[in-house]
Structure formats: C-alpha cells, structure tokens
Amino acid sequence: MSIGVQKAGLLDTLQDGGRYGYQQSGINPGGVMDRLAMRVANMLVGNDPATAVLEMHFPAAVLLFETTALIALSGADFSPEVEGREVPLHQPVLVKRGTVLQCKKQRKGARMYLAVAGGFKTEQWLHSASTQLQVKAGGFAGRALQKHDKLLLRKPDLFLLPEPSQVIETLPWRADIGGLYHDGPIRCIAGNELDNLDNRSRQLLTDSVFQISRESNRMGYRLQGPVLHSNLAGELVSTAITRGTIQLLPNGQLIVLMADHQTTGGYPRLAHVTSADLPVLAQKQAGEQFSLQLVSVAEAEKIFREQEMNLQQLQNACNFRLDRYFGT
C-alpha cells in the first residue's frame, strides 16, 4: 500500500500543521505553507484536518499509485492528470491502482497539496510529521522526495472504483473555497516598531505595491518595493518573531517570515500578516505583486472567526457526504 515516486519534483515534502512548543529551544514550527489548503484536502477525504499531506511545487513529482486510493488535491492548480484524465481540485477522487498522477502546467498558485484517505506513514520528530530540512528530521527521511521513494499509506486497500475500467472516479461533491482566498491587499496588524517609521515611509507601506523577490523560500518572502526608513538606529535586541511577521531590513526593504522562519530576530517588526491571509500569501510566487492593508486586531479576529466557521461547516458536510457515499 504505497505511492511511488517515478520522477522527483522541485521540492515535494510531507508536512502537517507544524511543530509547536519548541521555539524557546530555537526550533521553528515549520509545517505547511498553506494551512487552508491542507485542511480542505484532508476534510475532503475524511482525515483529521492537520494530518500530514504532500506539499508540491511546480514542476511536481510524478506519482505511481500502487494501490487504489481516495485522494484530494487543493491549493495551487498545476493541471493534474491521471492517465490523461484531468483531476479536479477541491474534490475527492478515487484513483485506480497502477495509474500515474502528473502535473502538466502551472495555471495558478505556488503550492498544491495532496491528501490521501487515512494519511501517509511518516517519521515523527518532536510530535510532528513535518519535514525539517535543516536538521533532516520528520516527514520522509527528513528530506524532499526523490525518484524511487515509496510513500506508505496508513489505510488498508479498501477502495474500489464503481467501474473497473475507469482510472479515476470523482465523488459528486466539491469544496467551495471562494470565500477563503481573495485577490485584494494582504491584511496585517501593526507591529511593535511600526511607529518608528518616518511619516513618508508609513504612508508608503500601505500605498505601495510590493513584488516577491526570487530570493524567497519557505523561510521568508523578500519583497521589492520603495525604500522605507526607520528612526531606529541599528538592529534591535533580538526578540521573538513568528510566521507572518513583516520585518524591515537594513537596506530599507521588507521581508515576510514564512513557515520555516527563525524563532528570533533583531530587525524592526513593522506588521504581522493576519492568520486568515497567510494562506493567500503562501500561494503567491516570485514575481507576483501585492499591497498591504493595516487592520485592527478586532477586525483580524473577526475575519479569522468567520473563516473558522466556514471550515467547520465544510468539515461537517464532508463527513456527512463520505458517510453516506461509503455507507459507514
């Protein structure tokens, strides 16, 4: 019961919701870049929302299903196909044993997530299955997938396609993610050192368009935009930072910390991306542009609560549909 890697992708790793409780020891949480996509994919196949998924970048790995499996793809659209049949996103799909999943074209987004019913067998490190590339721990041997790797599955081979001649069977429901992502400004709340910007720089922060540099990765997105100036001289005493913290670099440019960020830093913290908009940012790639919008903590909490309510409704609906479809 496994999925084999016929061809390695750019950077395909097993990731879950993250590794928490160890930042005081310098170990960052890590985990998926887009938590929404992870949760949606898992809900569609009946998993716990934080179950480890395969995070894929384009070009993505070519995967051979050595067992019939119930899967869901969410996040970016890489034009996934199984034996020439298009695989829809945000919808549960039965994939036949002996068939190959491959991605033909990057249409939209930066990261696609593959969830499989029952989950993958993973290596745990500090109570998480997330791959920690720096220390080579967790996930699959602590590294990105390579050719000939085999991802073992936890769930027995219990799935059968209604028509044996079919290579995939798309289950008749789909997650509506329209309200979870948006194309507007990335919303953020004020950081501790925002008031240290001079008046012009503070205006530029929300009036300008920033572009994601090619020097960006899972640790952070370096942004290219107008040079901002702070009244603070030199670096601050190193202090706690987190995913979504927007720091001002010595050259006047910004960096947004992402999943594999360090745990402390000495650059001014101008703002923090709201939890609801971190997945939106995670799906942007090098060269894309966006602007920033400052919102209050109360507004950020309201947006987050609404998002969580939508996800809970989705999970309830998926569980109901799966129970009825498979008669469990």
pLDDT tens for the chain, 328 residues long, are: 899 999 999 999 999 999 999 998 989 999 999 999 999 999 999 999 999 999 999 999 999 999 999 999 999 999 999 999 999 999 999 999 999 999 999 999 999 999 999 999 999 999 999 999 999 999 999 999 999 999 999 986 677 776 767 899 999 999 999 889 999 999 999 999 999 999 999 999 999 999 999 999 999 999 999 999 998 766 678 888 999 999 999 999 999 999 999 999 989 999 999 999 999 999 999 999 999 999 999 999 999 999 999 999 999 999 999 999 887 5
The arrangement of strands across the sheet holding 53-56 comes to 13-15, 53-56, 108-116, 69-77, 93-95, 168-170
Q: What residue numbers bound the domain in which 22 lies?
A: 2-179
Residues 267, 224 within the same domain? yes
Residues 71, 196 within the same domain? no
Residues 195, 151 within the same domain? no
Residues 214, 161 within the same domain? no
Residues 204, 149 within the same domain? no
28 domain residue, yes or no: yes
Residues 199, 236 within the same domain? yes
pLDDT in the model for residue 156: 66
pLDDT in the model for residue 159: 76
Residues 175, 190 within the same domain? no
304 domain residue, yes or no: no
pLDDT in the model for residue 166: 85
Residues 251, 171 within the same domain? no
The token duo for 36 is 């929404």
pTM: 0.95
pLDDT in the model for residue 235: 65
pLDDT in the model for residue 311: 95
pLDDT in the model for residue 232: 79
pLDDT in the model for residue 260: 95
281 domain residue, yes or no: yes
The token duo for 283 is 């799906």
pLDDT in the model for residue 234: 62
Residues 168, 244 within the same domain? no
Residue 205: C-alpha distances to residues 88, 210, 291, 296 (Å): 38, 9, 8, 16
Structural domain ending residue among the three candidates 131, 147, 179: 179
Q: In the chain, helix, strand, coil percent, each to 5? A: 20, 30, 50
Residues 200, 157 within the same domain? no
Alpha helices in 75-143 (DSSP H): none
For residue 227, how many other CB atoms are within 10 A of its CB? 9
Our count of domains for the chain comes to 2
Structural domain ending residue among the three candidates 179, 199, 217: 179
Backbone angles phi, psi at 300, to 5 degrees: -60, -40
